[in-house]
Amino acid sequence: MMDIQRKNIKYNFLKTIIVRFDFQGVFDSEMEKLLPLIKPYLKEKNFTRYTRRKNNTLEVNFDSAVLQTPILNNVQNQIIHSFINDDSGYVLDISNSFVCLNIRSTSYSPFEEYSDLISYIIKFYKEHIDFFSVTRIGIRKINECVLKDKDKINEFFSQDYFRYFSLNKDVHNFFSDKKDTFGFGDNYKGNLSCKIEQGKINSTEHYKLTLDIDIYIDNTQLINKTNDYEIKLQEMNNIIFDIFVNALTEKLKQALITNDNDFEFNDELLGVERNE
């Protein structure tokens, strides 16, 4: 099996990165004092737009002893502050219970860049708000590409990850979604979705493949023992990379590390971009 390292990869089909910290102990009044401290830093990082929105949150109570209509209470309007960097495709959502960085870009986003950014924001909270406590840290990466020929899926991707149900030649597959929820070592948990969707491009059948990897830690005691959140993010990012590489065949691995001007299988596998 080919030993492939992140630095060797010249092409990717990573479409979305989501990094999220959930926490508790922050009052709305404290948010109003924190935002003026964060804004100059984000301006330095080329965030140029700001929007403010409200998210409705509900608490639903069920009485397990009897069958009854669930009781809805504690309806709250949570204020979300969104900062946008149009050049990099970064959208940073800040609230009194979470910070979430969404990255949607066709160009490669270095891990160190977005890891430093969100870790620095969390340090603002930790340094300026008493009783601040992180409850969960997670990274999710969504890889997407499109194949023209269904029969070539396992030329590029492992059958352990992507496989259509097959009974006989009369079976016509439209959709497949393999899902796993797992623990990784003593500290981390994960969700993995490997999806195949049939669709059409210019009246021709194509197959969209989605490799969606979500790794997180929700051990609050362990999280809050560390002063360096980037270490946790790096560990989770390494797990995601190992899963990603394991999902590929040797044929696709070799194509992704080959430093040519054009991706070798451009005619068969769409959506693969060169790392800049």
Cβ–Cβ under 8 Å, residues 216 and 240: no
The pLDDT assigned to 64 comes to 45
Structural domain of 14: 8-274
Question: Is 151 inside a domain boundary?
Answer: yes
Residues, the chain: 276
Q: How many domains does the chain have?
A: 1
What is the reported pLDDT for 261?
80
pLDDT at 167: 42
Say if CB 191 and CB 244 are below 8 A apart: no
pLDDT at 70: 61
This prediction has a pTM of 0.88
The reply to whether 142 falls in a domain is yes
What pLDDT does residue 259 have?
84
User: Which residues lie below 8 Å from residue 231, measured CB to CB, with a gap of 6+?
Assistant: none
SS3 call for 219:
coil
Domain membership of residue 2 (yes or no) is no
pLDDT of residue 41: 96
Per residue of the chain (276 residues), give pLDDT as tens. 677 888 889 999 999 999 999 999 999 999 999 999 999 999 999 999 999 998 876 555 545 445 455 655 555 678 999 999 999 999 999 999 999 999 997 677 889 999 999 999 999 999 999 999 999 999 999 999 999 988 899 999 999 999 876 544 555 656 788 999 999 888 899 999 999 998 888 888 899 999 999 999 999 988 988 878 999 999 999 999 999 999 999 999 999 999 888 889 988 999 999 987
Q: Does 3 fall in a domain?
A: no
- Retrieve residue 222's tokens: 């362990």
CB atoms within 10 A of CB 252: 22
The identity of residue 164, as a single letter, is: Y
C-beta separation of 71 from 61 below 8 A: yes
1 inside domain: no
